[in-house]
Structure 1
Amino acid sequence: MNAQDLLEAAKTHTGLSQNGLAEAIGIRQPTLSQWNAGKTELSDETYIKLAKLAGVDPTEVIIEKHMRKAGPEGRKVWATLAKALPKSAVLLVVVALVVPYNQAHASTIQILQAAKYLLC
């Protein structure tokens, strides 16, 4: 699901206007308009909020987002993650991506180790 489709799904699912959606996810409406036009990229946290409003799985939305942005090798890795990991482990990987590196490097390592443990 691309950004525009996600925005439409959220509007349809909630009945909110674009202004209402922007307020619901904590961003300004012009930012959401730029995102919808493909001129800017929203954070993973904002994608997750919007996915929840759209009634779709945030994990799948984040994986698709990163697959679109990645190069050929990166897309292969994301596709493998999407197929191989149970949803709970994928969620741990998504959380690891969302945690800013400079705030919680140790936590990110612990989350990735937990994901590895779940796969074994």
Structure 2
Amino acid sequence: MKKIGLFVLGAIAAVTLFANIGSLAVLAVSLVILYYAWKRWMKAETTMKKLFWITIGIIAFVASASNAPALIAVAAAYVLYVVYKKWNETKQMKPKEMDDPFAHFEKQWAELERNF
């Protein structure tokens, strides 16, 4: 039953991610342009260059803000990652010796007797 729930959750996350992949790409490009404009603005020496890079930065910021649905794609990618990790998680089986609460006691008692 757990695998079915993980499958359904993973399928929904995958569809959501692929539906928003375009806005995610545009968000990435606009953030790179915004970063580049910031770096160039910091290095600019004349007022005209500073105004030019501020204008480019504002345009890139508006483009980034308009792609807010891309955050849904980021959340869907994270959910898909978590589902993948949970799907491949294996349960560790206990050996028969660990099932018996007195087996460990018997083993330690035997070690104590050997030491004395």
Quickly name the TM-score band, shorter chain normalised.
under 0.3
Larger Rg, first or second structure (1 or 2) = 2
Higher relative contact order (CA 8 A, sep 6+): 2
Normalised by the length of structure 2, the TM-score is 0.21
Normalised by the length of structure 1, the TM-score is 0.20
Which of the two has greater helix per residue?
Answer: 2
